[in-house]
Amino acid sequence: MINEIRDAIIHYLASVMKKEDAILALRYSNTPGVLTPFIARNKEDLNSIEAGFFHLNNLAVYLSEFFQRENQLSKLNGALYIVCKPCDAKSVMQMISDQQIVADKVKLLVYACEGIADMKKIKAEIGLDKDYKTIELHHAELSLTLLDGTPLSIPKAKVLADKCLECNGEYNISLPYVFVGDEKKWKTNASNFGKIEKKVLLQDQKQGKELFEQLKSELSVCIRCNACRNVCHACFCSEKCIFDRPKMTVGFLDKEIAPSDNILYHMIRFYHVAPNCTACGECERVCPQGIPLSHLYDYFHRLMQESFDFSPGSSDSIRQAMLSYRLGEDLA
Amino acid sequence: MDRTNTVIAFVCQAEKRKKLISALQSKYSNLRVIPVICIGKLNPAIIFRLLLKDAKAVILLGCDPSDCHFREGSFFSERRFFLLKEVLKGFGFNDKLLNIIWSNPGKDTSTLKNIASFMQYLNESHMEKGA
Amino acid sequence: MSDTQKNSLSYLISPAHYFGGITFLFLLIQVFTGVFLFMNFIPYVSEAYQSLVYITNIMPYGFFLRTLHRYSAFGMIIMCLLHMLRMYTTKRYLRPRDVGWITGVVLLFITLLVTLTGFLTSFDGFSQVVLNGLADFFKIGRRDFQSLLSINYGLHLLFPILIFVFLITHFSRIARPKVFPPSSLSFLFIGLMVALSGFFPIASIANTPELGSSNFEPMRLFLGLGIMTVILVILAFLPYLKKQKSIYAYVDETRCTGCMYCADVCPKKAIIEKQIEKNNQSYAVATVLKHKCQGCGICVGACRSSVIQLENHKDEILLEEVRKVWIEQTL
């Protein structure tokens, strides 16, 4: 199934790709099970494109790189194709709404995703002291070969990412895009995918001091590596971030990495990205300390929907919720 | 007196509120008033910093949205401060330490009452940060 | 552009905000009733009086329309003056709102003129006296002041068009103008006018025009007009009388990401996008139009990376003031 999708993507791209075009996609790297982003410039490169269960990266964040910095791709004469899952496409839409990428040069290629892996769960299944040398998905079974040669088989459902369990197949792309796979079938399947009706959030279970203490201890392991900030498409300030400006750093954050400072850093970052966050989950995936950031963000996702009736990533022209107001709205 | 006992108040349209500001400064020794031209100018990152590290509490005094001199400052601020409070709540921080008052320059008495009850509440509760 | 603004009953901005909108409402009532009157009034000396009788006595709702037209005219002027008074007392005429103020003064002038010409068109008792007096002044024969009548009528129809033209400029200086009052206020005022017109109809028209003596002196009219013009000219120059210190916002172009959040929240639409060239590549950044900036700083609160700042009060200064408070205390 996965191979079929991959072949379909390559087949489509081979037919439409022109000489000056470039394609942003993922391919195998040295590490088993890890795909790495690359840019395909010609038809030979196309064959290395991979997609499917291990397509973990949200490639939308690289688009702003191309449009904001000077590099070969910013001088691209042709179109830039981006291979993305439906949830990544929402990020692209939100970035266009925030005027970080130019819509005419980008061509979306969305494929029928069957869910992605959560590497932490795989690690937990095989044991923290073990490692694998090959890993492949065959239909609903993940088969691995450990370093000592033992084969292992894990059902796919066990190691599926949390956000896939809640996927409802809803996305609303207002740009011209190409869907590789059967779109209607995918939408019907996806809407039955998520069994979780209403998510129970951390903030629902605990409030007040209890919650603060728990978060303080969870965030105390933060080493302020800024990986979550760098991988986030909603953090588009990049090197112009307020936390990087010398005068502002003295104003907002001190140089020390103290628990109170970590909470302050994340609070301000949450406040800034809440209107743009499309819940792609990348921040949690890249955190070296394993802080469940995406689970914290779900609270704000729900807030935006309930209070302002605004869903980030649903449109490339409607501006985010903080830039407008309604007369007579009652914000409790 | 250490810094964690100070309450900072951001007041908009300060020239029109001179009486109120002088009344506040004479009555409460640990209250500091910082004027801004419009409450919409405030960068919420500053308020986060003050609440978490420096000040005991923060008061934001803005004009009633029906009468903002610049027309829309209070409308946008309503949304921004709402998100600010929700972020504080989402982290379990005690959002009662942030007092947001929407009051026109002419309505000094009710503003004073509001601030008085707030200061009393602060004194009585002996709250720690994040409690 | 951004989210919809719903004028809901549950949350009224203070009515003073809508004085301008209510003036506009009265203007629309005038246009509406005026169209019906226009269709039935004949501006020829020989037939004007008959058409007036027809409108008042025979045409269905004619009397009501005439009364409404007259009362709305007064209502419009009163509301216009209240609107102007509010702008003056809340200092909303200073730069950069001076263009709105000047167009407003011009609109008041045209409104007064349209009322005057309308009054003369109405061809009832007193207006006939005035017309007679003017005819004497201009040495036109009493029986034949058709030219006067035509000019007057033509002006009465032209002025509303001028009003709409100036209104476009008057509204364009505000990013989200409240042109129409909320429905509750609108219905209140329309109901008030309708009730007034129903219960207090204007005095019936006079009999056939007196072509005899008239002790009306046109010089008084011209003097009145002259004084009014002088007053309005003085008012128009009000924003420039005092020397003002202007505060503007400015953008640090090296740090701007081009997201244009500031442009969306600006009440004056004073921020626009600009392309800059750097290292052979063009980037979009925000830039402030100084003549429209009112120095409120709402853009500063919207910017994530604190790139846009007010000239006299940067965020760093705010932080510095807070730091001074701590320093004071520790000493």
pLDDT value of residue C204? 62
Residue window 303-322, chain A: list those with CB within 8 Å of chain B: 303, 307-308, 321-322
Domain co-membership, A36 together with A174: yes
Question: What is the full DSSP assignment across C127-186?
Answer: HHHHHHHHHHHTT--GGG-HHHHHHHHHHHHHHHHHHHHHHHHHHHTSSS---SPPHHHH
Per residue in B24-83, pLDDT tens?
A: 889 888 888 888 888 888 888 888 888 888 788 999 998 877 677 787 778 888 889 999
**pLDDT tens for residues C274-314?**
888 877 777 888 999 988 888 888 999 898 888 888 887 77
Question: Do residues A207 and A317 share a domain?
Answer: yes
**C4 lies within 8 A of chain A by CB:** yes
Answer whether residue C6 shows pLDDT above 50.
no
Q: What residue spans define the domains of chain C?
A: 15-240, 249-330
- What average pLDDT does this structure show over C108-113? 93
Taking the C-alpha atoms of residue C20 and residue A200, their distance in angstroms, rounded to an integer, is: 50
pLDDT of residue B128: 55
Q: What is the pLDDT of residues A13-69, one digit of tens each?
A: 999 988 888 899 999 888 888 899 998 888 888 888 998 889 999 999 888 877 766
Nearest chain B residue to A324 by CA: give it.
B76
- Look at residue A134 in the predicted model and tell me its pLDDT: 87
Give residue limits of the domains in chain B.
10-121
Q: Count the residues in chain B.
A: 131
Strand-pair partners of C54 = none
What's the CATH code, domain C15-240?
1.20.810.10
A260 and A136 part of one domain: no
Radius of gyration of chain B (CA): 14
| pLDDT single digits (tens) B93-117 | 888 899 998 888 877 888 899 999 9
Task: Tell me the residue type at C24.
Answer: F
Instruction: Report pLDDT digits (tens) over C199-251.
Output: 887 766 655 555 555 566 778 888 888 999 999 898 888 888 877 777 889 99
Contacts of B66 in chain C (CB under 8 A): 12-14, 17
Chain C contact for B103, CB < 8 A?
no
Query: What value does the mean pLDDT of chain C take?
Result: 81
Which range among A71-80, B26-35, B39-48, B118-127 shows the weakest confidence by mean pLDDT?
A71-80
| Interface check B32 vs C, CB under 8 A | yes
Say if CB B1 and CB B32 are below 8 A apart.
no
CA distance B121 to chain A (A): 18
Based on the domain organization, do A22 and A96 belong to the same domain?
yes
Contact B67 C14 (CB under 8 A): yes
CB nearest to C267's CB, from B65, B67, B72: B72
Q: Is the pLDDT of residue A279 over 90?
A: no
Residue A145 included in any domain: yes
pLDDT of residue B56: 86
Same domain, A178 and A82: yes
Contacts of B39 in chain A (CB under 8 A): none
Residue in chain B nearest C177 by alpha carbon:
B71
**Is residue A77 domain-shared with residue A181, that is, in the same domain?**
yes
Lowest mean pLDDT among B114-128, C8-22, C268-282: C8-22
pLDDT score recorded for residue C91? 79
Chain A residues closer than 8 Å to B82 by CB? 307, 331
CA separation for the pair C252, C287 (Å, rounded): 9
Domain count of chain A?
3
Q: Which residue has the higher pLDDT, C17 or A25?
A: A25
- Domain C249-330 coded CATH 3.30.70.20: yes
The residue in chain B having the minimum alpha-carbon distance to the alpha carbon of residue A258 is B53
Q: pLDDT band at C9, cuts 50/70/90?
A: very low
With an 8 Å Cβ cutoff, are C306 and A322 in contact?
no
Q: What's the average model confidence in pLDDT over A127-136?
A: 86
Considering only CB atoms, A299 lies closest to which of B48, B84, B90, namely B90
Confidence of residue A137 (pLDDT cuts 50, 70, 90): confident
pLDDT tier at A163 (50, 70, 90 boundaries)? confident
Q: Which domain holds residue A133?
A: 120-152
Which chain C residues contact residue A272 at CB under 8 A? 304
Rounded Cα distance, C98 and C142, in Å? 46
Q: Is the pLDDT of residue A255 over 70?
A: no
Give C199's contacts (C-beta < 8 A, 6+ positions apart). none
Q: Does residue A281 share a domain with residue A189?
A: no
**Chains A and B: how many Cβ contacts under 8 Å?**
92
Question: Which residues of chain B lie closer than 8 angstroms to C265, CB-CB?
Answer: 40, 72, 76
Mutate to test the interface with C, among A65, A99, A318 (most CBs of C within 10 A): A99
pLDDT at C127 over 80: no
State whether residue C306 sits within 8 Å of chain B by CB.
yes
Q: Give the distance from residue C8's alpha carbon to the nearest chain A alpha carbon, in angstroms.
A: 6
Q: What chain A residue is nearest to C318 in terms of C-alpha separation?
A: A251
Write out chain B residues lying below 8 Å of C174, CB-based: 71
How do residues A177-197 score in pLDDT, each as one tens digit? 888 888 888 888 776 665 545
Given a cut of 90, whether residue A105 has pLDDT beyond it is: no
Q: What percent of chain C has pLDDT over 70?
A: 87
pLDDT digits (tens, 9 = 90+) for C48-68: 777 888 888 888 888 888 888
Q: ipTM score here?
A: 0.88
Backbone dihedral region for residue C61 (phi beyond 0: left; psi -120 to 50: alpha; all else: beta): left
Neighbours of chain A (3+ CB pairs under 8 A): B, C
Q: What is the mean pLDDT of residues A276-290?
A: 91
Asked if C258 and C286 count as a contact pair (C-beta separation under 8 A), the reply is yes
Task: Supply the CATH number for residue A260's domain.
Answer: 1.10.1060
